[in-house]
Amino acid sequence: MSDTDFTPNEMMTIAASRALKNTDVCFVGIGAPSAACNIARLTHAPDVTLFRYWLQGGRVTVGFLGAAQIDRFGNINTTVIGDYDEPKTRLPGGGGAPEIASSSGEIFITLKQSRRAMVDKIDFYTSFGHGDGGDHRERLGITTKGPTLMVTDLAVWKPDPVTREFTVVSLHPGVTREMVQAECGWTVRFAEAVEETPAPTEIELKTLRDLNARTKAAHAGGKSGEAA
């Protein structure tokens, strides 16, 4: 793969990393959110603070979450697929995600689009987003902003300021509206002016690929008994 080519996953990770600022205090776990935050730290936001294992009440500006299932209002399920008592699949659970979703200043979400992941109604509320939409969070006494950004492998989404329904504001290079709709379980709303996500720069791609290579090497070393 050349420096000018990039995968949908690389586009997603880099687009998500751009949302972080130098002044952010970010709660981040493993996986795609961790990669996005580290890319930000290694490129445009070297002073970003990353908390990996605990949530410092009132001081974390951004919580970065993934999702097994998500609905149009940013409510997340990472608990079960199907009925809770007799699930088709039991997922890892919430961990600290429910607290992150309610206590962080705002929430960024990353996930690969599919109709199985982006559903009209999630099977279980693990992490509360915007509930039924509108001012649902405020009515429950939750004072933080909730989900303000979702970056998938196809597009960048932001909640409508009134309804809080996630709306596509930017399509990644080569992606069409039809492609986004085909991998979403609800009728997608698009902003009046949909932009094209800027392609990854050479330095962003190199940073991400170097990070992935170091991570792969560390894991390989650990499995073989060598020092990582």
What's the average model confidence in pLDDT over 140-153? 96
Q: Are 72 and 27 in contact (CB under 8 A)?
A: no
Residue 186 in this model has a pLDDT that exceeds 80: yes
Q: Which of 57, 65, 67, 58 is nearest to 37 (CA)?
A: 65
**Calpha distance 197→180 (Å, rounded):** 14
The percent of residues above 70 in pLDDT, for the chain, comes to 91
Tell me: the pLDDT tens digits for 110-137? 999 999 999 999 999 999 999 999 999 9
Query: SS3 for 22?
Result: coil
Average pLDDT over residues 106-113: 96
* Dihedral of the alpha carbons of 22, 27, 30, 35, in degrees to the nearest 10: -10
In this model, does residue 157 exceed pLDDT 90?
yes
CA distance 74 to 117: 12
The pTM for the full model equals: 0.87
Q: Which of 44, 11, 47, 5 lies closest to 26, judged by CA?
A: 47
CA–CA dist 17, 36 (Å, integer): 4
- pLDDT (tens digit per residue) in 16-54: 999 999 999 888 766 778 889 999 999 999 999 887 555
